[in-house]
Amino acid sequence: MGEAADMRSSTQNPAESFGQIMPGQDPYGALYIHVPFCKQRCLYCDFTTQAIDHESPELRAYTDNMILAIRRAGRTGLLGSLRTVYIGGGTPSFLGQKYLTELLYTLSLSMHLTEDVECTLEANPDSLDERLVRDLWALGVNRLSIGVQSFNDDELQALGRIHSAQQARDAIAAAKERFTNLSLDLMCGIPKQTLESFRASLEEAIALGVSHVSVYPLTIEDGTPFEAKVQSGELADTDPDFQADCMELAAEVLEAAGMQRYEVASYARPGFECRHNIAYWTGVPYLGLGEGAVSMAQNANERVRFSAGGEVLDHLNASEMLAEDLMLGMRMTQGIGPELVSAARTTFARFDDVCGELVERKLARWEGERFVPTTRGWLCGNELFGAFLDL
């Protein structure tokens, strides 16, 4: 649980109406499928997911509904232009071999699930073994994202994770039998964590030979057990300065090992960047299926996000779309390219003034005709991203 989390939202039946078909709609380029089940909810988690027994009939019912939703999306032509698929959660690997086989087989019949389509599945170490790895690979999954969070058992226990550091190592070893495109999530700002222990987790990720690492600061979300612990005084709130130190350390260690930072929280060996997440950040329309999934449809004049049941979550006009694209562009190392810069200058009278202020505050800089974020800008992300949304 980490990448692609921004497509999860309100609760809906996965077989309900897709809701929004717009005149002149751009084709969907990305598909997100949500699996809202876990063996145990982590103490920090606020995603749409629930802890249930592995024998629960809910798994059968949800899989059947998802199969119907995928078939319907295929019949209505919504899956014909997909370049990426992301199966997230929750814990998709918790579904197990039988239900994942049915789900992926349906997907392969409903779209062109070729080698050119990046197909990612999120997995937790406790539910990933060699047999499941072989089956996932055979059914068209070509990228795994493993929720490790830390290679320190005390930190894992503090987060409420149910796997051990050794289970994480074993899961990565099993995944490497088939997968070269292998990502893992690490978290910083964990209770009991130090810079030394965070460095050790980074170095272990490198030593294990993964191709992609995402690093996320811990956030205390409303309604989570962590929030209750903070409010009662049992747990200290997160320390932004420590988290900033960790993010700078991640850049130092991972880049020295040959990984390139291509997004504020993501590092990859060349050629292993997550194409699905890049689709989000570059305005590619995406379809979300399943409880808690969100879709984004757009044409030249408007952009709409809606739940799986069709409820409109936000509606942007052309200038609001452009402001959002500028903000999302600044999440990435490449920043805002000449085409977006030209459009922004035409649309927003204050665009150059805002860029000048960001340069003066060392939050961004010009590289030729491209406007790109600095490391300081990423560390002060609310200020950097908000400057463009405020346009």
- Report domain extents, the chain: 5-279, 318-389
Indicate the DSSP class of residue 330: T
Q: Give 158-218 as a DSSP string.
A: HHT-SS-HHHHHHHHHHHTTT-SSEEEEEEES-TT--HHHHHHHHHHHHHTT-SEEEEEE-
pLDDT at residue 3, as a whole number? 61
CA triplet 156, 162, 167: central angle to 5 degrees? Answer: 80
pLDDT at residue 2, as a whole number? 58
Q: Name the one residue in this structure whose structure tokens are 């199966």.
A: 87
pLDDT at residue 43, as a whole number? 80
Q: Give 24-39 as a DSSP string.
A: TPPPP-EEEEEE-EES
CA distance 107 to 71: 8
pLDDT at residue 17, as a whole number? 47
pLDDT at residue 161, as a whole number? 92
CA distance 316 to 341: 19
Q: Which CATH number fits domain 5-279: 3.40.50.300, 3.80.30.20, 3.90.1570.30, 3.40.50.2300?
A: 3.80.30.20
pLDDT at residue 20, as a whole number? 56
* 52, 59 Cβ separation under 8 angstroms: yes
**Alpha-carbon distance values, 27 to 20, 78, 261, 285, 322 (Å):** 12, 7, 29, 7, 19
Q: Give 245-312 as a DSSP string.
A: HHHHHHHHHHHHTT-EEEETTEEE-TT---HHHHHHHTT--EEEESTTBEEEEE-SSEEEEEETT--E
Which residues make beta-bridge pairs with 89?
A: 35
Q: What does pLDDT average to in each consecutive run of 10 residues of the chain (391 residues)?
A: 48 46 87 93 81 90 95 94 95 92 96 94 95 95 97 95 96 97 97 96 98 95 88 91 96 97 97 97 95 92 89 93 97 96 97 97 97 94 94 90
Number of H helices, E strands in the chain: 14, 16
Cis peptide bond N-terminal to 19, omega within 30: no
